[in-house]
Amino acid sequence: MRLFDAHCHLEEEAFDEDREEVISRAIKSGIIGIVTSPIYPEDAEKALSLFRDHQVVKVSIGLDVAEYGEDDEVEKTIQLILDNVDDIVAVGEVGLDYRVASRGGPDKDRQKEVFRRFIRLAKELDKPLVIHSLWAQRPVLRVLDEEGASRVVLHAFGGKPDDIKFAVERGWVISIPTNVVRSENIRRVAECTPVEVMVLESDSPVLAPNPRERNEPANIRVSLTYISKLKGYCPEDLASITTDNAKEVYEL
């Protein structure tokens, strides 16, 4: 069985003590590819030093929406992407987060301004986008559409059926996290998402099947079993389809 973790954060401190063991468990579980997505410049540098030439783990560089108000952080992230364009598979995660805005972070207009910069950068570099859309699923879709984005991974997407239809019509990929086994909203997303545009992610170290435990890529096996039953697919077939989808969007 071939599996792919389309989005996680293996560079985070939560994995500093046993990162290689975590990756080993992932490979033993059948995972042939992992995309880790640092969201701070210092974490991006760490991820590149850890995984630049790794056979299984690949890097996508993005920026936490909470940092969009800091010009230095935005410019530093863009420069890191430009300097390491041959060593990354995507731009992201980037996007909109209206919960951040509600808590005094960058307002909606500023978020959209920075988000558009990242979309245009990804198009210029011919890289896919990994998208964050907390409390802002529909606005994210509108901005992506306005900017003509074509290669998109909607990470841990929580939109409604009409949003999923909108994304599917544009060929965008919807990524289902491992907390699908306990989240009613994510379960509905999985039900509505055609397997032809579905990928699987752990979002490690968060969104674990068991909320009391640290998540890791090997838990893709758990969500695969659950989604297979939900969609009426043989697990081996769904694993192959979602893995091929991830390899295609990331051009691996």
Please give the C-alpha separations between residue 76 and each of 40, 94, 98, in angstroms, as whole numbers: 9, 14, 23
**Residue 110 has what pLDDT?**
98
Share of the chain above pLDDT 90, in %: 100
**Residue 92 has what pLDDT?**
97
Encode pLDDT of 28-73 as tens digits.
999 999 999 999 999 999 999 999 999 999 999 999 999 999 999 9
> What are the start-end ranges of the H helices in 11-70?
19-28, 41-51
Q: With CA atoms as reference, report the closest residue to 187 among 219, 230, 251.
A: 230
Query: What tokens appear for 192 in the block?
Result: 């509505």
For residue 14, count CB atoms less than 10 angstroms from its CB and return exposed for 0-12, middle for 13-18, buried for 19 or more: middle
According to DSSP, the β-strands at 152-154 and 129-134 are parallel
- CB 203 within 8 Å of CB 177: yes
**Residue 77 has what pLDDT?**
98
**Residue 75 has what pLDDT?**
98
Encode pLDDT of 4-26 as tens digits.
999 999 999 999 999 999 999 99
Whole-model pTM: value is 0.97
**Residue 33 has what pLDDT?**
98
- CB 91 within 8 Å of CB 62: yes
Please state, in angstroms and rounded to a whole number, the distance separating the CA atoms of residues 221 and 188.
19
Average pLDDT over residues 231-243: 98
Please state, in angstroms and rounded to a whole number, the distance separating the CA atoms of residues 96 and 79.
21
Mean of the per-residue pLDDT values for the chain? 98
Query: What tokens appear for 24 in the block?
Result: 């080993």
* Sheet bearing 57-61, strands edge to edge: 3-8, 31-36, 57-61, 88-97, 129-134, 152-154, 173-177, 198-201
Share of the chain above pLDDT 70, in %: 100
